[in-house]
Amino acid sequence: MSDTALLGTWIRCFLLDYLVSECNLARNTQRSYRDTLTLLLPFAALQIKKEVDQISVIDLSAEVVRHFLQHLEDSRKCGITTRNQRLAAIHSLARFIGLRSPEHVAWSGQIRTIPPKRAPRSAITYLEKSEMDALLNAPDQSTDQGRRDHALLLFLYNTGARADEAAQAKILDLAIGHSPRDHSLVQIRGKGNKLRRCPLWPQTVGELSRLTASRPSTDHVFLNRYGEPITRFGIHTMVERYVRKMLPAMPTLAGKRVSPHTIRHTTATHLLRAGVDINTIRAWLGHVSLNTTNVYAEVDMEMKAKALATCEVRGPAAKRHWKKDVRLMEFLHNL
């Protein structure tokens, strides 16, 4: 069997060259594709009764892929969103092989015709202003860790940054203004290594200035208790810890699954309520498409209620006799 017939040869080129050099995908996306193939190959090997290294391209048939997707849902209890993400990675691999290997064009087409499964859109969770204020006040700011946590929560709320974006932020990414007329900014590296700049509130500037004082500019802004850069998993754990602490005093949080991404949704919703233009919010959050940002206008019940009030149909006004119209009589007497 030639090397080009073996699936492993193509996978190496796909992961090491195509995703990195040509697509320039974010590291987390590369890991997601890798994880998909890590799950797929052992499953396919069992299905076709071959060693992983001996699987050919055509061995990975559309039927095997469909069985794999069903296995994700049934055995691994994955949701439809995860199932579709795995399928997207397989589609990308099939397209990569089909464009470079004419003998596998038909195989590529069969794989790529496997459709994603439709899933109901889940409601976006966000925090009301009182809930967000309570979360910001949850850390004990008399301790070093509490001050770090408060600054991190404030940074997430101010910028709407994803957990990984906050974890990767470095001191040199901060542009602190030295006068009230100078706008303080942070440069955030988002998905696909896209850069965006986000303004910082004066309170955020003060917290970050104290947190980063006397530290090298190449340091990450947020460190863990061991002095190492905090990870996105650490940020998730930190948010969940404070939410548990708040539950007795804030029972409305019991029905919400709060994560760093919930704070991102909260930022967008509160900006929208404050009258910020939807396109500005799109740039603020780093969305590629305005359709992604428009979802916040759909979920905010407060704004829906205000919009409804402006077009409310009212009954006919009660007619009054002209003699009882005091304003009209005053007008006539003053002529």
DSSP 311: T
Has 117 been annotated as catalytic? Answer: no
Assess whether 91 carries a catalytic annotation.
no
| Active-site position among 147, 191, 197, 273 | 191
Q: Which of 95, 147, 261, 273 is catalytic?
A: 261
Alpha carbon 194 to its chain's center: 14
The four Cα atoms 144, 148, 151, 154 give a dihedral, to 10 degrees, of: -120
Pick the catalytic residue: 18, 157, 242, 296? 296
Token representation of residue 277? 């233009």
Q: Do residues 52 and 45 make contact, with C-beta atoms less than 8 angstroms apart?
A: yes
Question: Is 157 an active-site residue?
Answer: no
Alpha-carbon span 259 to 256, nearest angstrom: 9
Q: Quick one: DSSP state of residue 5?
A: G
Token pair belonging to 11: 């996978």
Per the rule left: phi > 0, alpha: psi between -120 and 50, beta: everything else, 114 is: beta
Residue 197: how many other CB atoms lie within 10 Å:
15
Q: Which residue matches tokens 């976006």?
A: 124
162 is catalytic: yes
CB atoms closer than 10 angstroms to residue 109: 13
Helices assigned H by DSSP within the chain: 7-13, 27-48, 62-74, 80-100, 105-112, 129-136, 144-159, 163-168, 202-212, 232-246, 260-273, 278-285, 290-299, 301-310, 326-333
- 315: its two tokens: 């009954």
Active-site option among 264, 265, 270, 282: 264
121 catalytic residue (yes or no): no
Catalytic residue, from 86, 150, 270, 287: name it: 287
**Contact yes or no for 3/54 (Cβ under 8 A):** no
Is 261 part of the annotated catalytic residue set? Answer: yes
Q: Which two tokens stand for residue 160?
A: 């709407």
Catalytic residue among 162, 189, 220, 270: 162
Task: State the catalytic residues.
Answer: 162, 191, 261, 264, 287, 296
